Structure 1
Amino acid sequence: TLDNRVWSVDALYDTGAMSKYATLTSISESPVVEGLLYTGSDDGLVHVSEDGGQNWRRSALPKVPARSFINDVEASNHDSNSVFVVVDAHKFGDYYPYIFMSNDRGRSWKSISGDLPDDTIVWVIKQDHIDENLLFIGTEYGIYFSPNKGVNWIKLNTGVPTIAFRDIELHQRDHDLVGATFGRGFYVLDDYSSLRDINGVINEKANALFAVRDAWWYVPNEPMQAKGMPSQGTTSFVAENPPFGAVFTYYLNDIPETSKEVRQKSEKTLREKNASIPFPGWENLQLELSEDDPKVLLLVSDENNNPVRWIKGASKKGLHRVNWDLKLAAPNPITLTQPAFKPPWVGDAEGPLAAPGTYKVELFIAHNGTLQTQGEPQEFMVKAVSNTTPGADFKAIAEFQGETRELSRQISSAGRKLGEAANRIRFMKAALLETPKATEKLFKDLNDLNQQLAELRMRLYGDPARQRMNEATSPSIQSRVGQVIYGHWATRQNPTETQKRNIEIARDEFDTFKGDLSIYFNDLEAYEAA
């Protein structure tokens, strides 16, 4: 044992987990040269064969405790002479992260542990198939990557538990990293390709937007009108899918500081020196109150440079991701209130899908009324999954849904104006009761305005009396558009003739409605001025 004692045979326990030595623990064939083999064993030895296993030579690792455990051997994806080895000596009380690289087929080795913490056992190592300098390791405490072949190591923290990752694999087609933990399941980092450029971006100390993987265009399935598996209970576990749509990865090195942050940083320096902190002045404090925090925005545009959608992003220093759900902005009026409870089947307001095609995204920082672009725009494709009805015209579908969205937006705006008018009438009714000089005509005119408002609401939304009793009623302007949204936006099929006719009727009726609404507001304002 570690204290150089020999114990009784009766003290042996769990001997099945002990090394018997001379047992191979890993093997790797070079992807570059056929028959170039490397093996590692549980006695700390590495052997090399250059003739498909006919002959072997022993390779000595420097400064590794005797009879250590070779956790992994990986031949380089790029260089026929390069190979990587990770060693585990924790059974001797040594938790140092032994990672080595050889550039001469194991004849000599150098450590690439870099700046890893000293007590980090390493279980597995992988090399990217495109960038030879990009390495990944699974350790006792998580996953690390190195953009410079082991000089520096960076831990992947977000969404990853601090637990042993015993194996990792790199998916070459999709550029995904898959990690297998010791008892906590599998974790997937989707599209790690941005890490190939992270070293240059960090060295340049610049904000940057990375290349975007092409996005698949389809309608995600939501059973029982809710995401996930709402009817299966907690015992039926399924992990979340990757975010739907296009995923944008960006790096922030420099974020504008607010006046308050600049002041607090200066005061911190003075405080550390035990110096007095001067009063900043009322004008500066007022400026701090009126100043907004900087915001990170990403603008998606189509192939004709027409803006499609603003996407909000995190505004802290570091590496971030945000996704665009391939949809246009929702037509609903903006509301800043949040309900105390939202049922799982009630989602956020959404617009229709944008058409497949070529898009680009740009990174911006908005601060103090300025909008400054960051880094270079990135182009990407939105590609339709080929499982739709034959003859579906995606461009025509998107145009029809876009027209429906715009009509819905205008109807929602008109509805909000009706709500504002109702609120004004409510206050005027209360004011009349507090006005002794109010004439009979004022009461009558206000009642007429209230009746006209009810008629306008009925034209826009339908008969409320019949709706309350679940009685059939003539379609309203809003219901015609709403039926098309409900029946067509969740599909990738051409609109039916009924759907097209509904939008045509709704548009004609709404054009007349807008004129009547304008006349009504003129009458309302004239009454208020009386």
Structure 2
Amino acid sequence: MESGGPITRDITGEEHYSVIYAIEESPVASGVIWAGANDGPIHVTRDGGNTWKDVTPPDMPPEGRIQTIDPSPHDASKAYFAGYRTLLGDFRPFIYKTEDYGESWTLLTPGDNGIPSHHPTRAVREDPVREGLLYAGTEFGMFVSFDDGGSWEQFQLNLPRTPITDIKVHQNDLVLSTMGRAFWIMDNITPLRQGGEAIEFGLAAGGPNFLEPLDAYRIRGGGGGGGSPDQPRYSRRGAELDYMLDDDANSVRIEIMDEAGSVLRSFEGPGSGTPAPTLHRGLNRFVWDLTVPGPNGAARGGPTVVPGTYMARLTVDGRQQTRSFEVLMDPRVAADGVTVTDLQEQFDLGIQIRDAIEDADATIERLEGAMRRVSEGSDVEAQLKEIADALVTDRSISSYPQPMLRDQLNYLSGNSQRADQKPGEDMYERLEVLVAELEAHKVRLQRLIRLVI
């Protein structure tokens, strides 16, 4: 064609080159393989490719592109495919299901059951854990079905309006690829797997519904990121506790207990400044970071609990539900030879250091009270300042001030808890020295306080 000639269908519409666009083997039956092409045909083999059968749905319009095929992870005879015909000017969605190796097909997207008639479909996947839970990616976003495609719910959440090009369920996370808008991951799809029978998505049936939590791994790091649209946002580490509310609540409390029922942490909403459970209608998620309180009840800074069985008690406006879960060791740590006994010793040392920090803080508070009452310029004031100089770092020094006892304890705490490890003997020795020094300062301070009173 000469430059400037008429526009032809070849350069504006679909082109066919006998290309197989999708090929998938059944995860439950070896040798059952499905294939879809860019001009519409669907074929299946049940003998590892020796023979193939054309099982294209008779009501599927011709020349559509078969974008994805998803053999069911639950039934070898069952499969789904998603196709589209947008390059032919047809924006209808085409998701089909067969339950008899393609002998018959059911169209799951007639246009009136949730996915609009003008949303071309690119991807469909069945959940590997819950049969009949389907995820569909369209030209304009995500949808989910709890009834094997009988009906669909919009599942856009914070996704941009962009074509969903593929979907994978990896372990307990939902992973999406999009057309030019990055990869997206939904962490922990337990609410979808547990909630379908009792709820319309996001709404509890008849009151609070505390979903069964997944076991949680002790993993260092996590969270953060997402400072700008082009930066990833990482999931928070810890135990993810999901609960459904049929209406906004007045108060929500989550208590973390050990296997014996002793309360380790308590979080209440509404709240500010510390991790607080949310109270809004629909799905709520709270993440416990697997630590106990820090010094003086601080929300952060406490040691991480050891692997074992724990419980979470949810109280919503006076109504309680309790769920149990396991805290598991990071398998990489176990591969390095670290044991649960090592982690228990580390936790116990962390508690001892926390207690020493609290003792130091209480001593400093008493010291400050005595200095407010002492006569200025007296010998007692001079001795109190000596104790203060030994306990508290001089922050007036702008460049590398010498850390004093309180900060040395804090430094020891950080070093002892920074990695999953058996504590070294030097940590115990250093704590013993610091505690002895603190006790000496306490005795001296008590004697001086008697002189001030």
Name the SS for the 2:247 alignment partner: coil
Tell me the distance in 1 between the aligned counterparts of 2:383 and 2:282. 57
Tell me the distance in 2 between the aligned counterparts of 1:389 and 1:22. 54
Tell me the distance in 2 between the aligned counterparts of 1:380 and 1:38. 39
Tell me the distance in 1 between the aligned counterparts of 2:395 and 2:311. 49
Shift of 1:377: 0.9
**Unpaired segments of 5 or more residues in structure 2?**
268-275
Question: Are positions 1:217 and 2:168 aligned together?
Answer: no
Which residue does the alignment assign to 1:398? 347
Deviation string for 1:402-443 (max 9, x for gaps)? 111122133234435555676x66xxxxxxxxxxxxxxxxx9
Tell me the distance in 1 between the aligned counterparts of 2:400 and 2:63. 81
Q: Which amino acid is the alignment partner of residue 378 of structure 1?
A: S
Deviation string for 1:158-217 (max 9, x for gaps)? 45322111011222xx22222111112222223323321111342634423333333333
Question: Of residues 425, 432, 448 in structure 2, which corresponds to 1:504?
Answer: 432
Question: Are positions 1:457 and 2:388 aligned together?
Answer: yes
Name the SS for the 1:200 alignment partner: coil
TM-score, normalised with respect to structure 1: 0.69
Cα distance, 1:14–1:519 mapped onto 2, change above 3 Å:
farther
Which residue does the alignment assign to 1:250? 243
* Kept after mapping to 2: 8 A contact 1:477/1:506: yes
Tell me the distance in 2 between the aligned counterparts of 1:509 and 1:316. 50
Which residue does the alignment assign to 2:326? 380
**Unpaired segments of 5 or more residues in structure 1?**
1-7, 257-293, 335-347, 426-442
Where do residues 286-301 of structure 1 align in structure 2 (5 Å cutoff)? 294-301=250-257
* Kept after mapping to 1: 8 A contact 2:226/2:233: no
Which residue does the alignment assign to 2:114? 115
Deviation string for 1:511-530 (max 9, x for gaps)? 56557767877887x6xxxx
Tell me the distance in 2 between the aligned counterparts of 1:51 and 1:471. 76
Tell me the distance in 1 between the aligned counterparts of 2:421 and 2:47. 59
* Kept after mapping to 1: 8 A contact 2:72/2:78: yes
Deviation string for 1:122-174 (max 9, x for gaps)? 10111122211111122222232222212332344445322111011222xx2
Question: Are positions 1:415 and 2:369 aligned together?
Answer: no
* Kept after mapping to 2: 8 A contact 1:208/1:251: yes
* Kept after mapping to 2: 8 A contact 1:357/1:382: yes
Q: Which amino acid is the alignment partner of residue 334 of structure 2?
A: S
Cα distance, 1:163–1:520 mapped onto 2, change above 3 Å:
farther
Which residue does the alignment assign to 2:197? 200
Which residue does the alignment assign to 2:259? 303
Tell me the distance in 2 between the aligned counterparts of 1:298 and 1:92. 55
Shift of 1:15: 2.8
Name the SS for the 2:197 alignment partner: helix
Where do residues 49-68 of structure 1 align in structure 2 (5 Å cutoff)? 49-59=45-55, 61=57, 63-68=59-64
Name the SS for the 2:305 alignment partner: coil
Question: Are positions 1:166 and 2:97 aligned together?
Answer: no
Q: Which amino acid is the alignment partner of residue 327 of structure 2?
A: M
Larger radius of gyration: 1
Q: Across the two proteins, how many residue pairs are aligned to each other?
A: 431
Name the SS for the 2:16 alignment partner: coil
Name the SS for the 2:283 alignment partner: strand
Tell me the distance in 2 between the aligned counterparts of 1:82 and 1:207. 36
Normalized per residue, which structure has more helix? 1
Where do residues 145-160 of structure 1 align in structure 2 (5 Å cutoff)? 145-160=144-159
Where do residues 7-22 of structure 1 align in structure 2 (5 Å cutoff)? 10-12=6-8, 15=11, 18-20=14-16, 22=18
Name the SS for the 1:11 alignment partner: coil
Question: Of residues 278, 284, 295 in structure 2, which corresponds to 1:320?
Answer: 284
Tell me the distance in 2 between the aligned counterparts of 1:156 and 1:522. 69
**Identical counterparts, % of pairs:** 24
Tell me the distance in 2 between the aligned counterparts of 1:207 and 1:221. 29
* Kept after mapping to 2: 8 A contact 1:309/1:329: yes
Cα distance, 1:450–1:122 mapped onto 2, change above 3 Å:
farther
